[in-house]
């Protein structure tokens, strides 16, 4: 049975096509102004890769902040529920999910069935999110995908005191002007975010294993900083960015009555 | 220059209109036509609101500015005419005017960290759109923003400010009631001097009896609300009904309002008609307020079959008042406020409400700038979680719509209701 999960995020759109509890393929594209069209394109691209047709999809579930703008989805479910489902499927030992996405970050407590027990979200600001790191990468002239690799070269600890994206950007520019190394600044930024996420995570009863999801989990420097801050067993899925879409596809599969 | 002139002209004109009592008569008629399809109780609230605004403008009785935890029975017994800036702020937010006043207040150095309801009120004061107070009586209960706000106002208007300081513990042996009684008596004697009239036992009897009858009706409503499906949405209970809850006890109009509301709620219970079409999750709302500016929270709840079955602010925590012992009765009412004192006191009431109203989940609305309610939120959450009752901490703002993020709020509410499923 063929189903699809769509995660319409603030920075990227993700589509996962699932058949009989197996991921057939997935696609990640940047978000733009025409969310509906782009989401359809994202799904079509995935279907092209799997050799399936739109009409073959039994159920489509949408998640992410743009979930309510997708008319061709059969149902919309929040990314909190979807990340919990996806993380549980990828690693059944998951009891905590930390999702650092483009515009927000969330810490989710899950039970062994992948059901949400409790959750916390960041304040309504970009601090501690993918967007924050993007702005900093721009200020430092580093590609987003190289942030982790660069920061791991650091030999000196620098403290970044501002968590407001605008203030942190000016702080970074001042540090560059003072002659600080890019990698040290990056490490400082990652540690600052890890501290923020860490305090948020401690509001819940943190239990092992902690699964990191969302685009920021691809950043090795960030993962390292979080491991250090959380002092816990951390699992990073091979493609952390699609966990929400995967969860949506799993929900679609359940809806379709084929919960294998 | 011409823009400044236009702004000054408009502001001056609005000021004149706002202070003309006839305009409220017209406003009431207009509102009655506009809301002709609304419930009878809602129309009675409109009457009360416009009556208050009209009478305050006439200044036949001294106008007192006060706050919600100052017993209205005290104000009416003293034959004063009350204005509740916090409640007016909520009304202005609901018609989309709050931000205009908030920006006025902020331009005069009112901090964005001050509770938005007081920033709206400060803007109203600065614009001079309201009848100035002859005196101010406020309670220090639950809200420390109000104490400084009213103190500031008393300087601005050069009028007396009587602050009722509430003891932390409700403990008769520790003289907490006597402490309150002494303050209330002192206020009464000072008000006598200002008004030149002596407080009459007859007036106290009249006001207290009305307040007691109204209290009985509120108790009836709260009992009816135990029914499934919920006959009255907490969303309404925290709007115009809450306005009456705080400002009308001790008035004939207040009693009429609650008598009508009892009938309306009873009718829904008899017909088994719920506040929403399909009720799946019964929710308890914590904190005195909710967002009043146009927002989608209630739609988010309804779409996911969540109904606010009850809200802690509607709990009747005080006993019937004894007109023969007015000061002791009012002191008891104030001291019985479960929001004052150790957090365990509030938790006990919350847990009783959870059981009484068969609650599935609790939403704590954490108002920005409100330390009293937000301070204990995590302790309440831990307690409820141990009892197996999930709780959502919903950060937000009741009057300042700039602090409302539609998408983020929707995600929190939907995820919480998905969790309850």
Q: Once rounded to an integer, what is the mean pLDDT over residues A225-251? A: 95
Pair A77, A98 in one domain? no
Q: Check residues B14 and A5 and name the one with the higher pLDDT.
A: A5
pLDDT of residue B203: 95
Q: Once rounded to an integer, what is the mean pLDDT over residues B223-237? A: 97
Contact between residue B121 and residue B95 where contact means Cβ atoms under 8 Å apart? no
pLDDT digits 0-9 by tens, B288-299: 899 999 999 999
Distance CA A259, CA A75 (A): 17
Q: Once rounded to an integer, what is the mean pLDDT over residues A111-131? A: 86
Q: Does B414 touch chain A (CB under 8 A)?
A: yes
Sign, CA torsion B83/B84/B87/B93 = positive
pLDDT of residue B8: 66
Pair A147, A231 in one domain? yes
What's chain B's average pLDDT? 92
H helices within B234-281, ranges in order? 234-237, 240-247, 252-270
What's chain A's average pLDDT? 92
pLDDT of residue B372: 78
Q: Check residues B201 and B17 and name the one with the higher pLDDT.
A: B201
- Across the interface, of B390, B410, B412, the residue whose CB is closest to A118 is B390
Q: Does A203 touch chain B (CB under 8 A)?
A: yes
- Across the interface, of A104, A115, A120, the residue whose CB is closest to B408 is A104
What is the secondary structure of A175-224 as a DSSP string? Answer: HHHTT--HHHHHHHHHHHHHHHHHHHHTTS---SPEEEESGGGG-HHHHH
**pLDDT band for position B4 (cuts 50, 70, 90):** low
- Across the interface, of A78, A104, A124, the residue whose CB is closest to B418 is A78
Pair A42, A147 in one domain? no
**Nearest-CA residue of chain B relative to A122?**
B408
Distance CA A100, CA A116 (A): 17
Q: B-chain residues within 8 Å CB-CB of A68? A: 410
pLDDT digits 0-9 by tens, B383-393: 999 999 999 99
Kindly tell me if the per-residue pLDDT of A32 is higher than 50: yes
pLDDT of residue B369: 82
Pair A146, A259 in one domain? no
Kindly tell me if the per-residue pLDDT of A31 is higher than 50: yes
Measured CA to CA in angstroms, residue B156 lies from A54, B86, B107, B128, B161 at distances of 68, 18, 17, 11, 11
pLDDT of residue B375: 84
B419 with A117: Cβ contact below 8 A: yes
Q: Once rounded to an integer, what is the mean pLDDT over residues A176-193? A: 93
Contact between residue B66 and residue B149 where contact means Cβ atoms under 8 Å apart? no
Kindly tell me if the per-residue pLDDT of B2 is higher than 50: no
Kindly tell me if the per-residue pLDDT of B5 is higher than 70: no
Pair A108, A220 in one domain? yes
**pLDDT band for position B7 (cuts 50, 70, 90):** low
**Separation in Å, CA of A63 to nearest CA in chain B:** 10
Domain that holds residue A32: 1-91+240-260
**pLDDT band for position B1 (cuts 50, 70, 90):** very low
Phi-psi region of B411 (alpha: psi -120 to 50; beta: other; left: phi over 0): alpha
pLDDT digits 0-9 by tens, A141-161: 999 999 999 999 999 989 988
pLDDT digits 0-9 by tens, B186-220: 999 999 888 888 889 999 999 999 999 999 999 99
**Separation in Å, CA of B5 to nearest CA in chain A:** 37
**Nearest-CA residue of chain A relative to B393?**
A120
Pair A103, A193 in one domain? yes
A80 with B411: Cβ contact below 8 A: yes
Q: Once rounded to an integer, what is the mean pLDDT over residues A191-202? A: 91
A123 with B395: Cβ contact below 8 A: yes
When computed from its CA atoms, the radius of gyration of chain B, rounded to whole angstroms, is 21
**pLDDT band for position A191 (cuts 50, 70, 90):** very high
Pair A24, A150 in one domain? no
pLDDT of residue B412: 94
Q: Once rounded to an integer, what is the mean pLDDT over residues B327-336? A: 95
pLDDT of residue B186: 95
Distance CA A223, CA A190 (A): 9
Q: Once rounded to an integer, what is the mean pLDDT over residues B170-185? A: 88
- Domain CATH for A150: 3.30.420.40
Pair A121, A191 in one domain? yes
What's the complex ipTM?
0.88
**pLDDT band for position A165 (cuts 50, 70, 90):** confident
pLDDT digits 0-9 by tens, B339-377: 999 999 999 999 999 999 999 999 999 998 888 778 899
Pair A218, A103 in one domain? yes
Pair A188, A82 in one domain? no
pLDDT of residue A260: 47
Going by C-alpha positions, the residue among B338, B347, B331, B346 that lies closest to residue B317 is B338
Pair A41, A126 in one domain? no
How much of chain A, in percent, has pLDDT values that exceed 90? 76
Pair A82, A108 in one domain? no
Q: Does A202 touch chain B (CB under 8 A)?
A: no
The count of domains in chain A is 2
């Amino acid at each position: 049975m063929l189903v699809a999960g769509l995660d319409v995020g603030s920075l990227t759109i993700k589509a996962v096509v699932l058949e009989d509890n197996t991921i057939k393929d997935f696609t990640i594209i940047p978000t733009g102004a025409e969310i509906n069209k782009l989401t359809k394109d994202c799904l079509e691209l995935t279907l092209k890769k799997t050799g399936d047709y739109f009409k073959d999809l039994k159920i489509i579930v949408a998640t992410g902040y743009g979930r309510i703008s997708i008319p061709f989805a059969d149902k919309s479910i929040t990314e909190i529920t979807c990340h919990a489902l996806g993380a549980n499927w990828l690693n059944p030992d998951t009891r905590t999910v930390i999702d650092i996405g483009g515009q927000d970050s969330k810490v989710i407590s899950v039970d062994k069935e992948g059901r949400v027990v409790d959750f916390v979200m960041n304040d309504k600001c970009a601090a501690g999110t993918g967007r924050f790191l993007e702005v900093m990468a721009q200020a430092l002239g580093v590609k987003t995908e190289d942030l982790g690799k660069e920061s791991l070269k650091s030999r000196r600890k620098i403290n970044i005191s501002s968590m407001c994206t605008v203030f942190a950007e000016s702080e970074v520019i001042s540090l560059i002007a003072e002659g600080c190394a890019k990698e040290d600044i990056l490490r400082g930024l990652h540690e600052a975010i890890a501290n923020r996420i860490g305090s948020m995570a401690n509001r819940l009863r943190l239990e092992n294993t902690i699964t990191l999801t969302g685009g920021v989990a691809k950043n090795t420097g960030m993962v390292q900083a979080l491991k250090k801050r959380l002092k816990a067993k951390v699992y990073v899925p091979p493609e952390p960015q699609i966990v929400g879409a995967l969860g949506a596809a799993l929900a679609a599969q359940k809806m379709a009555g084929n919960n294998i | 220059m011409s823009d400044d002139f236009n702004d000054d002209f408009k502001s001056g004109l609005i000021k004149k209109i706002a202070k003309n009592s006839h305009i409220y008569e017209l406003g009431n008629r207009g509102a009655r036509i506009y809301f002709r399809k609304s419930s009878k109780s809602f129309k009675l609230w409109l009457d009360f609101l416009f009556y208050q605004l009209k009478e305050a403008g006439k200044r036949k009785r001294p106008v007192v500015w006060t706050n919600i935890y100052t017993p209205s029975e005290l104000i009416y017994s003293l034959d004063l005419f009350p204005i509740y800036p916090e409640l007016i702020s909520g009304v202005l937010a609901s018609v989309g005017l709050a931000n205009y006043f908030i920006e006025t207040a902020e331009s005069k150095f009112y901090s964005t960290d001050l509770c938005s309801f007081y920033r709206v009120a400060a803007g109203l004061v600065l614009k001079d759109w309201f009848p100035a107070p002859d005196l101010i009586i406020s309670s220090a209960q639950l809200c420390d923003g109000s104490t400084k706000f009213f103190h500031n106002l008393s300087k601005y208007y050069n009028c007396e400010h009587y602050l009722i300081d509430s003891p932390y513990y409700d403990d008769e042996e520790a003289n907490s009631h006597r402490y309150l009684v002494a303050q209330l008596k002192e206020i009464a004697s000072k008000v006598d001097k200002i008004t030149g009239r002596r407080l009459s036992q007859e007036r106290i009897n009249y006001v207290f009896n009305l307040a007691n009858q109204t209290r009985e009706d509120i108790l009836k409503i709260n009992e009816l609300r135990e029914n499934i499906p919920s006959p009255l949405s907490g969303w309404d209970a925290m709007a115009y009904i809450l306005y009456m809850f705080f400002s009308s006890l001790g008035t004939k109009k207040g009693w009429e309002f609650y008598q009508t509301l009892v009938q309306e709620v009873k009718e829904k219970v008899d017909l088994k008609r719920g506040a929403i079409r399909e009720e799946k999750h019964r929710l308890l709302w914590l904190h005195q307020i909710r967002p009043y500016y146009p927002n989608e929270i209630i739609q988010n709840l309804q779409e996911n079959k969540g109904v606010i079955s009850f809200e802690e602010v509607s709990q009747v925590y005080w006993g019937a008042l004894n007109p023969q012992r007015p000061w002791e009765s009012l002191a008891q009412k104030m001291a019985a406020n479960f929001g004052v004192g150790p957090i365990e006191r509030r938790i006990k009431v919350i847990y009783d409400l959870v059981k009484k109203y068969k609650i599935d989940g609790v939403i704590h609305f954490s108002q920005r700038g409100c330390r009293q309610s937000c301070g204990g939120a995590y302790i309440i959450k831990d307690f409820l979680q141990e009892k197996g009752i999930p709780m959502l901490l919903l950060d937000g703002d009741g009057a300042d719509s700039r602090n409302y993020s539609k998408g983020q709020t929707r995600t929190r509410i939907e995820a919480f209701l998905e969790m309850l499923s």
